[in-house]
Structures are given as C-alpha cells and as structure tokens.
Structure 1
C-alpha cells in the first residue's frame, strides 16, 4: 500500500513569514525548490505573488495578435518593443497545460479558402500601368508589379533603389593596407572615432595675410564655353610646380623664428585634417613639436601627393590582391601591366589630369599680363631652366583662440592657381581662382559608382552628373573647397575631363568647365568649416600636452578612426637619406 510522508515544517516562533534565523534550518534545504525570476530596477514589486498575472507566453501571444490586427498602431508596436527585463519565454512562474493540450485533436483539417481582394500585399489595386496597381503589389519591396518599376522578378527594382544586389556581400571585403607601416616600437597615445570628431565646433574669424609669393596668370575664359560637341584635347604641358612640406619651406622657417604662430602647416595637409570624417582611404600626418611650436608635415610620396577617384562610392575601385607568398606560381602585378581601372592607376591618372588641366587653362602670353605677388617664388632656384607654373603662395594667419587670453594661432601656406581678368586687383586678394578637374574613366567598369555617361548627360543633365560626383567624391571635393576657402579664392574652376577612348588612359579630352564660389559649394556639400576648425583645435591641444618629439597621426585603413602615435625622432629620416643617396648616384 502506497504511503505519503509530510515534509518537515520549520516554524517561526516570532510570527513572521518564513523560517527564522534562529531555527535549526538545514543548510542543504536553504534555497531548494525556490523559483528564480530576474527583475529590473524599474520593476514595481507591489505584492509577493500575483496570481492574476498572465504567463509570459500568453502575454506575448496576446500582444503579437494585437500588433498584427492593429498594424501601424502605436499600441501594437509599443507592446512588442517594451518588454521588462527578465521576461523571457521560459518564465519560472508560467503554467502550461501539457496533458490537456496533448489530448486535443483537430477534427476538421480542411485548409482555409484563399482570400481574394482586399489584401495589402496581394490585391489588384489598380490598372497595370499604375505604380500602385498590378498583380503582386508594386508597393512591396521584393516583387514588383507588371506595370510598376520593379517588373515581375523585382531584382531590377532592388538594384535601382540602391540596395545590395547579387553577390554584393563579396565586394569591399578586401582590407586596405595602411599608408605607413606601424612599427612595434611606436606607442599609441590616443584613438578618436569619427563620430566624435563630427560633433566638434569652433568659429574662426577672418585670417590675417602675412606675405605672398609667386606669379599667377589669367584664366582662359574660352574653356567656360566648351561643350561635349566642341571638346578640346588635354595637352601635356611641362611646367614646374612646387609643393614642399612644412618643414622644408624657408618662409615658414623664417616666420617660426619670429614666433608668429604656434602651429605651421600647408593647406593640403590642413584640408585632410579638417575633412577627416569624410575620408575612407588611409593617410598619415607627421607632427613635430619643437618648444611651443607644432609643425604638421607630409611624407614624400605619401597620399597627399596624389588625387583619389571615387573614394566615397559604395563600391570604390580596388587594387589587385597581393600575390600569395605560399604559392610560387603566382606572380605579382607589375605597375606597367596593371589594369588601368584599379585604384592606384586611377589615382595617378587623376593627378596627371589635374596638373595638366591647370597648366593648360591659363594665358601665359599677354594680354592679359601675369600678376606678380610681393615676392618671387621661394622654391625656384637659380639653376632651374624649366618655366614655372602659374601658382601664388599666400601665407595666412588664423586665430584659434576661444577666449582673448588664449594664444593659439596657426600659420597656413595656401595656394591659388590663376586670376580672373576684370574681377579686381589680384594683389589685394580679388578675383583669385583655384583650378581643379574631375575625370571620367569607364562608366561600365567596377568602381564607377553608377556615374552616367558624360558625353550624353553633361550638357542636358549636368545636375545628375554633379550629384553623382558629389556622392562618389565627397571627400575630394570637400578638400578642394576647404583649400579654396583657406586661400581666400573667389572662384573654383572645375573641369570635366574624360578619356578619348575608355580603354586608353593616356589620351583625354576636356568636355566642359564650370565656375562656382567656394562658400556656395561648401553649403551644397554640407561642409562645415566650424567643424573642421574644431578638429584642428582638438588635435593641436592633444599634441601640446605631449612632450617635445615626433608624432604621427594615422587614419585607420579600414575603420573610421584616427590614432596618434609617439615615434622615435629618426623615423622617416633614414628613408629620405637613402633616396637622396640614390639620386646622387644616378646623377
């Protein structure tokens, strides 16, 4: 005969709830058979047990049915999203009718009839030609209607709307190499994400011009009337144009000896730093602190000497993968035989186009006569025989102090390429212009970024071409605009250069040229100079806290992050000495 024994009851003589601490309660029975349910700090515990509360599964089922019946309503969405902490599907207090549900069986297993009409996804809401009618519902994201823009398959609609298409997950998976090899001896001091840089702001007043050097020629206005029907060939013009780094500039060395400013740099280096949140490709800036002065330098042959192409495109141009060292049969790609549409080849091509377009679009033989600034070109030696390019250097002083007591000033060497005749006196900063060029390679190649054919769209739909270039080359255009604003140029001359044959990257033609004010173009590009000055001031304050020495600011090649490293004083100097020895041996 079965028997049942009662468990021991541990009474509390004090009259409280539960056994008292003085009771001889065994340690092994202390937390046995006690259900555990986690609670958040915001939960309201009004009673010990709520027997009227529904189980978690029932509550979620009710909320799910309510949100489906009231789709789009705030109550349904709020019920699905705001769940208390610990309210998972496996609740410790939930009760399940296991035996009752297992004994239940459905007698009528006939399928429910299909609904016709009135459905949101499957309705025939209009004629075939309308975007909201047709079968399949053109309003859905995947299956477009017959008369809608998606077609039957819907893949064309997906691709046209900018979404990822077939095997797009395999693109952009190749990691880029850093612009400089980071040695293990380098010490990382700071890491700043781009989203933190985008929140910085600093308003800066108009700069003070310290001095000016060089000679500039007049811009040839006939290029503003060039169209795709009257294209001009891009010529190869041999001219010398100097772009030395900050520490190699004799004028900056003179100004630094007079303690004119705290920070010294050039407009090319400063524009990269001010537009850092837009950059995708890697770059690096060498920062040298000598006393209370900072010098922002660039490396010879670094990323500052070339022009990028479609850096901000969804699928930018890629370089071929390096050879596998474990496969001896695989050969490295020689630069002479490399494809012409890789990132490196396009960058060299764009640099060549920018230089020659600036040399070609100025009038070197008067009239109008060239304009000489206060001093001749400081980099042109007496032994040089080749003619100088049209270039003027303006050394300008910007005050970055937040209060009147702060003495944070930056001296910037800026450049202008030409002047516009009849727009004022160029020696007083009137009518100055910078000349840049956008280039088209092959609209059907990888990395084109969905650019339209310039020969068919540039005259009739220039806005579409400009919008595509602003999207694919946002960082490059922003840097050009910042350089023009820093130099005090009134106009930006932008040329549209295309290949004469898409398969030949040596012959180019000028399809058109346009003029725009840098401040207006900055507003179109959503370029905030206040944000750029905030980034410069933040980096300056960060380096001023460090002791004297050499530092490198590196942009991560694959992440939106910049890092500041402390490097030995002889970093990058041995490489320059080796290059100088090789040049002397060749000479």
Structure 2
C-alpha cells in the first residue's frame, strides 16, 4: 500500500486539487515546463479549420469566423456545431493574448487589398461548392470559398474560363496564370502560348573540316553599329539595258475586277558580283574597294531581320573586296512568311505549302508579274547609254525582259583621310511618265503572294478576297510582320537603286490547293524611303554593318572567306576557307561528261 500511495502522490497535485504532477514531486529536469492537458478523445483535425467558430470579439479577424459559423447554422441539419476541446476552459498555458500595437506594420502591396477568402461553415454549402466549383480548395462558385481579389479561381469549366482570362492578364509571370502553374486553365494556357516548337534548321552551306572560324557576331552587337552615308551624293557610274513603261490599267485591278497571272517567257539575268564584266572593269579602273550586288547588300544591311540561314562568299584580291553569292543559294529565291510566329515547316503531308515549295512559287510570281504589267510597245521603250551586258542575241531565243542595271558608288569612309568606295549593281524594272516632268521616273516592281489563309504557316493573314479592298491596312500590317526580312530588303534595294516609286502587287492562288494558277487581286504604290520608314528600317545601322564586315575582311590576308548566318541562333559567323572552295572538282566534271547525250546515235537508237 505504501508504494501505491507514493505513486498516487506523484501524479495528483493535492495542493492545486486538480489532475497533474505535484510541484513537490516534479523531477528537476521537468521544472518550469508548462503542462498541456490532453484527452484521449481529442482528434487531429485540419491545420487551419475555417469551420471552427471563433470569438465574436477580441482577437483581430474574429468576426469572419463568427459570420461563417452563422452561415453554417443556416445550413440545416448538415451544419456542424463547433466543439470545445478538452482543457480549453482552463487558463491555457499556450493561449496567446495580443497586447502589442501593430502601428509598426505597414501594407507592402500597392494595390487595394482584396477580401479575405471565407469558407462557409455549413457542410451543405461546402458540398455545393464542390459540385459547382469542381471540388476542392479552389472552388469559388456559390459555396465554398468566396473569390477575393482574384486569388482563388474556379476549377470547373467556369474556372477554366476565369483562369484563362487571369492567365492572359498576368502573363507568363502571373502567380496562378503563368507557364505551367496555378489552378484552372490559366497556367496551362499561358505556358502554351509562350511555348514554341523548337525547329532545327540546316545551314545553307556545309562547314568544311578545313574551315577556320574567325569571328562570331551576335545580332545584339549588330544593332549598335552606325554609319551615316549621304544617299543623295551617290554617283551613278553607268547604266545598262532598257525599260518598258508601266501599264496604268493595272492600277484599277481589285478583288471584283481581278486579272489572271500570265506565264510570260522573258530572259532576265542575275549573275553574281565576280561574274559581272562591268564590275571587273570598274575594279580595274580603281573606282571602289568593295563590290557587291543590291540583292546581297540588302541582306547584309537587314541581317537582324533574317531567320532562315544564308551565306555569302567574300574574296580578298589586293586591296579589293568582292562579295558574291553561291549559285542556287538562298539569294535567288525569296522566302515566304519567314518572320511569322509559326512559319511554314517541312511536312511530308503538305508538300504544297512547304518553305521550299512556297519559295519557288514566290519566285515564279515575282518574275511573271513584273513581265506582265509593262507595255511592250515601241513607243513605251526607254533606252539607256549601254546595252545589257549579259544578253547574247545570237544564242538566246527568248526576248529580253525590261530591266536596267544601274552601277552606283557610295562613300562609306569613316574619316576624311580615307577613301572607301562601295560599288553596287542595282536594278530597276520599269519607268513611268509623270505629269509636269520631262524625265521619266524609275520604279521597282515587287509582289506579295497569298497561298492558303487556313494552312499551317499562314501567319494569321486575313482572306485577301474579302479583306484586301476594305481592310488593306490590316493586310499590309500582317505582311510586314510575317515578311519583315523580305519587305525590308525590297525597300533597301529600291532606295539603293534611286527608284522614285515601288509597285507592289497582291497575287493569290486561284485555288488554295493549286500552286500553278494565280490571279492578281490588286496593286499599290509606295515611295521607297517612306516605305522604309514605315518598316522601321535604320539605314545608318545597315551601313554600319556593311563597313564592319568590310573591315573584318580587308584586315585578313588575301584569300576567300565565307560569311554565314547561323541556322538556329541570331548570329553571323566569318570563316576562312580554301581558295578552291565551291569550285567544281574534276569528279564533278567527269560526272557531267558521263551523262547520256540527248542527240540520237547513228544507228537511230
């Protein structure tokens, strides 16, 4: 009995008259440790139980749980009465009483604070929130949580709409709407809008093992280059060829009065710089240090807008620099929707609208449109001082196309002590006779083409047959966005040639699934310099790029170099290549000679 009495005395505090350890029998190691009353009936609930009814007054925020408890009592038999935990009536040792001033705290957010999300205490309303709101913590329909300040979003179908709207407003960095996070469809949609398929393109030329990398220039560095060149002081060295007058009847073409695009057989030349005899003659006369064509020069001046890969060959001969294109390279074929957010892609199922097929189609349309819209009559022909240097009448069977090559010299010197002249071969396509003007005006003719507004790679372009006449501004704005590189190059070529106007044609397929028949839906006039301003073309930046590339090549020893655009990164690379690079080898010549002859043999087989 003595042992039992001592055991009871150790657990019963006779001084306090309650249940708990006696102060006189408490071991020293447990002294000053508060005792928490407990009961085996206590159960662990939620970490934050919004159903529990709080005090009506006292601590801050007590009114919200009280309101929730009242709302729960209205729920009928499903309402849950809050229970008092065992030991809560005693002076809780762990109870916290706020008796300090909160004046030192301040609101960090600048916007108006939204209402705190409140959950109704009634189980019926909570169940309704689950059924209507998609179930869960994020439900915010007619029960469950009340939506406060847009923080909680609905998870059901309506929640998808709300989440999508909030995801679009908050963007990729939104709390619940951006790339791949949050509730509802906002996160998924925000991430999907910002995600693009990573396309791996092949380089326009294969880098050889014996190529030496000299320089890599990012687009960000190209944007910082500047060189002021006075275009009005450009010197026209010589002009070659002839021009026909533009047919004014095509100004009246529209979607209700369209004309079919004809296939006109004409001969037009576009040789590279080193194959031009006039360029060689001007170099021998020391009329410049850098020699290039307008097609190549415009690509260099608008390099930052290019997305597709390209390359050009730089040849250093003495103190001269020749910039050439490769035969059959990207300079011979204009791109289509190169700058679109979702450009055309190679697809085995849709070869009609692949980038290569669209490029060939655009080349065909540009040439035939320029041949068709001129008056090929004796009284509408303009001769210049020199004939076409590439046409051989005794060998050609087709007539020559309307074209004049203008060889012009621009001064790209940086200081007054140096003399760096750039000779460029430019082209004009036709001429017009203006009223009250004695001299004819040179014009360039270019074409935009529509293939299929519903096909992949169309870039969100509107249907030209319904929008071109009534909403031409929207059509032009879309083309400027989807074909920024091509249109910028055309504007620069017209400025370099000294053309007074650009004639832009709008050509569409007669049938979206047939790339062989086209119709002319309209035409439009532009002034090259105004069009360049509208395209945000910085000519000073373009001349700075040209001078920088020329300096890099002229500092190198004599030889051959390749400047190429990286196929998948916004940068250009400069390589030193062997002098015989891109030259036909003996194996190529043997392969050509081994081809069967088209002439019949003596035995008639």
**Residues 189 and 236 of structure 1: is their aligned pair in 2 closer, same or farther, counting only changes over 3 Å?**
same
How do 1:329-340 residues align onto structure 2 when only pairs under 5 Å count?
339-340=351-352
Structure 1 runs, 4 residues or longer, greater than 2 Å off: 65-73, 110-123, 135-144, 153-159, 163-166, 421-426, 575-587
Instruction: Pick from 185, 205, 208 the counterpart of residue 180 of structure 1.
Output: 205
Please say which structure displays the higher CA radius of gyration. Answer: 2
**In structure 1, which of residues 367, 377, 398 is the aligned counterpart of residue 388 of structure 2?**
377
Q: Does 1:457 align with 2:467?
A: yes
**Residue number in structure 2 paired with 1:140:** 166
Say yes or no: does 1:229 pair with 2:295. Answer: no
Pair 345,405 (structure 1): closer, same or farther in 2 beyond 3 Å: same
TM-score, with structure 1 as normaliser:
0.71
* Counterpart Cα distance in 2 of 1:531 and 1:391: 29
Structure-2 separation of matches of 1:245 and 1:376: 18
Judge conservation of contact 1:143–1:154 (CA < 8 Å) in 2.
Answer: no
> For residues 340 and 303 of structure 2, what CA distance do their matches in structure 1 show?
16
How big is the shift at 1:69?
A: 4.2
Inter-partner Cα distance in structure 1 for 2:525 and 2:186: 37
Inter-partner Cα distance in structure 1 for 2:498 and 2:256? 34
Report the secondary structure of 1:317's partner residue. Answer: coil
Corresponding residue for residue 149 of structure 2: 119
Of 282, 294, 298, the residue aligned with 1:267 is 294
Q: Give the distance between the partners of 1:521 and 1:283, measured in 2 at CA.
A: 25
Aligned to 2:569: 559
* 2-structure distance, mates of 1:457, 1:583: 54
Aligned CA distance change for structure 1 residues 532 and 500 (closer, same or farther; 3 Å): same
How many residues end up aligned between the 2 structures? 450
CA distance in 1, matches of 2:212, 2:559: 13
Tell me the distance in 1 between the aligned counterparts of 2:580 and 2:498.
Answer: 36
- Closer, same or farther: CA 138–276 of 1 in aligned 2, 3 Å: closer
Per the alignment, residue 238 of structure 2 pairs with 211
Q: In structure 1, what is the Cα distance between the partners aligned to 2:187 and 2:263?
A: 44
Alpha carbons of structure 1 residues 345 and 254: separation in structure 2 relative to 1, 3 Å: same
Aligned-partner Cα distance in 2 for 1:534–1:509: 41
Specify the SS of the correspondent of 1:552: strand
Contact 2:344 2:457 in 1 (8 A): yes
Cα distance in 1 for partners of 2:590, 2:433 equals 42
Partner of 2:561, secondary structure, is strand
- In structure 1, C-alpha distance between the alignment counterparts of 2:242 and 2:305, rounded to whole Å: 33
1:317 pairs, out of 344, 351, 354, with 344
Q: Verify: 1:202 aligned to 2:214, yes or no.
A: no
Q: CA deviation at 1:389?
A: 0.5
Tell me whether 374-383 or 278-287 shows the greater mean CA deviation.
374-383
Q: Using the alignment, how far apart are the partners of 2:191 and 2:448 within structure 1? A: 27
Shift of 1:70: 3.6
User: Which residue in 1 is equivalent to 2:281?
Assistant: 254
1:223, CA displacement in angstroms? 1.1
Shift of 1:211: 0.4
1:229 is paired with a residue whose SS is coil
Q: Is 1:214–1:372's contact at 8 Å kept on the other side of the alignment? A: yes
Mapped partners of 1:311, 1:559: distance in 2 = 15
Identify the residue that residue 23 of structure 2 maps to in structure 1.
Answer: none
**What's the offset of the Cα at 1:420?**
1.2
* 3-state SS of 2:453 partner: coil
Q: Distance in 1 between matches of 2:590 and 2:248?
A: 42
User: Deviations along 1:101-140, whole A, 9 cap, x unmatched?
Assistant: xxxxxxx9x99996758735679xxxxxxxxxxx949963
Deviation at 1:512, TM superposition (A): 0.3
- Per the alignment, residue 19 of structure 1 pairs with none
Write the deviation string for residues 503-553 of structure 1: whole angstroms up to 9, x where unpaired: 000000000000000100001100011110000000011111100000000
1:382-412 superposed Cα distances (whole Å, 9 cap, x missing partner): 3222100000000000000122111111000
Query: Contact 1:424–1:431 at 8 Å: present in 2 too?
Result: no
Aligned pairs for 1:442-481 within 5 A: 442-481=452-491
Give 1:172 deviation, angstroms: 3.5
Question: Runs of 5+ in structure 1 lacking a partner?
Answer: 1-61, 74-107, 124-134, 145-152, 321-332
Change (3 A) 1:234 1:538: same
SS in 2 for 1:534: helix
Aligned mates of 2:277, 2:441 — CA distance in 1: 27
**Over aligned residue pairs, what C-alpha RMSD do you find?**
3.4
Residues 142 and 154, structure 1, Cα contact 8 Å, conserved in 2: no
Name stretches of at least 5 consecutive residues in structure 2 with no aligned partner. Answer: 1-101, 114-120, 127-136, 138-142, 154-160, 171-182, 599-605
- Determine whether 1:392 maps to 2:417: no
